[in-house]
Amino acid sequence: MKYFFKTLMLFFIMSAVSYAQENEQKAREVSIIHAGTLLSIAGEEPLKMQSIIVEGNKIISIEAGYVEIAGARIVDMRDKFVMAGLFDSHIHMAERDLNNPLANAADHALMGVKNSRKVLMAGFTTVRDLGARDDTLYKVIDAIEDGEIIGPRIIPGGIIIGVESRANGRECNGIESCRKTTRDMIKEGAQWIKIRSSCRGGQLCANEDGPPIFFDDEIQTIIDVAKKYKIPVATHSHTRDSSLQVLKYDIRSLEHGTFMKEEAMDMMIEKDVIFVPTMSNLDETSARAHNPETDPIFATHSMKFVERQPKTLLKAYEKGVKIATGTDGRGRNAGTNYREIEYFVRTGIPISETLKMATINSAELLGFADTLGTIEEGKLADIIAMDGSPLEKIENIRKVIFVMKDGKIYKE
């Protein structure tokens, strides 16, 4: 009997040891990426022939030359351009065509699942969602985290807060309603709050002289609630005065900024507010303006956006406003998130600076400055590779052939 217990005991110890070893093995899984050209930190010069050593979900070191370690998996990117995973800092992952009134929760869920795959495959490993229609995106995020579907790291901003309750907006109308809406949104899981402080671009009241739509005490209430729960606030703002209004408060980012003036840009620099201009939206705005079926008044309104937005971006850049890239993309353009980066370059922002805005600045905006945005020792292994250098020709940003997120390979 004594012998039996001893054997049983030994068996338990042995299996515990082998289980621990197996786990350790898994945690220590090492991949080495041999990078022909490596842009570790956007804005700096890329290096040739480097090895990125990834253990588990982290970058543990970067070595010159092509290093090999016994038992490690080699990822051969010797003829590729390797850089940190890209960010889309303003996207609508689970929203179909904005103007489709028939879209329901099933459409949004399906959109979320399809877009998640497309966005990740395009090399965008982290996104900030700034406006869903309902709570389906939270379920998509759970499914990505559980490994049931694939997608980028999604930072959800809940449903947009505006003055009226609508298909894609929750009501903030008077202090009590603003407090309740903001608190409810955070309770549901929003990690950002987005407010619509001017009319939407598709409305004529979003013109240069258009009115801010909130009262000061309403914005103050939203900011107070968000601050209480340590949630940052993003503000949709097209008009000159809505930008000046929201910049009086502790907001973290200003979206669109179409008609803002230098005074607003100075405030952004002073308060370290990050600008997300959403340029690639203009492709559709321009198509609408040039469509002969568009109402002439609306076509003129749309053209003003197309003409002004690039000037605003350039002016903000020249003044030194911190800028991040975000597409404002929806179902129809997920997977072409690189268009924003190309638009910046077309506008006149240097390529290396644009890549910095799509990585380092976006990581800072989303609170990942210490963990993402560059390929450096200790950071999370979000690494992409493409055929050809985007520094030489920006369109190479479309040719992403390798995607690693959190140490796991999704595309090779």
Residue number with CB closer to Zn ion (256 or 379): 256
Residue number with CB closer to Zn ion (328 or 382): 328
Draw the binding track, 291-330, toward Zn ion (x: CB under 5 A; -: no contact): -------------------------------------x--
Q: How many residues bind Zn ion (CB under 5 A)?
A: 1
What is the rounded distance in angstroms from the CA atom of residue 407 to the CA atom of residue 371? 13
Q: Which residues contact 309 (CB under 8 A, 6 or more apart)?
A: 256, 258, 277, 279, 282
Cβ 374 to Zn ion shortest distance, Å: 27
| DSSP string of 340-356, one letter each residue | HHHHHHHHT--HHHHHH
Residues between 212 and 251 that touch Zn ion (CB under 5 A) = none
What is the rounded distance in angstroms from the CA atom of residue 125 to the CA atom of residue 121? 9
Cβ 386 to Zn ion shortest distance, Å: 27
Residue number with CB closer to Zn ion (112 or 390): 112
Nearest residue to 193 via CA among 239, 162, 238: 162
Q: Which residue is nearest to Zn ion (CB)?
A: 328
Residue number with CB closer to Zn ion (125 or 237): 237
Q: Which residues contact 161 (CB under 8 A, 6 or more apart)?
A: 169, 170, 171, 172, 178, 181, 182, 185, 193, 194, 195, 196, 222
Residue number with CB closer to Zn ion (241 or 328): 328
In the block, which residue shows the tokens 């209004």? 245
What is the rounded distance in angstroms from the CA atom of residue 407 to the CA atom of residue 58? 6
Please give the order of strands across the beta sheet that includes 193-196. Answer: 170-171, 161-162, 193-196, 233-237, 253-256, 274-276
Nearest residue to 402 via CA among 82, 53, 17: 82
Pair 403, 364: CB distance under 8 Å: no
Residue number with CB closer to Zn ion (56 or 335): 335
Cβ 243 to Zn ion shortest distance, Å: 16
What is the rounded distance in angstroms from the CA atom of residue 310 to the CA atom of residue 219? 28
Cβ 266 to Zn ion shortest distance, Å: 25
Cβ 194 to Zn ion shortest distance, Å: 8
Cβ 131 to Zn ion shortest distance, Å: 5
Displacement of CA 100 from its chain's centroid (Å): 24
In the block, which residue shows the tokens 């579907």? 149
Residue number with CB closer to Zn ion (37 or 237): 237
Cβ 277 to Zn ion shortest distance, Å: 12
Residue number with CB closer to Zn ion (328 or 342): 328
Residue number with CB closer to Zn ion (83 or 137): 137
Q: Which residues contact 3 (CB under 8 A, 6 or more apart)?
A: none
55 binds Zn ion (CB under 5 A): no
Draw the binding track, 324-343, toward Zn ion (x: CB under 5 A; -: no contact): ----x---------------
Cβ 48 to Zn ion shortest distance, Å: 39
Binding site for Zn ion (CB under 5 A): 328
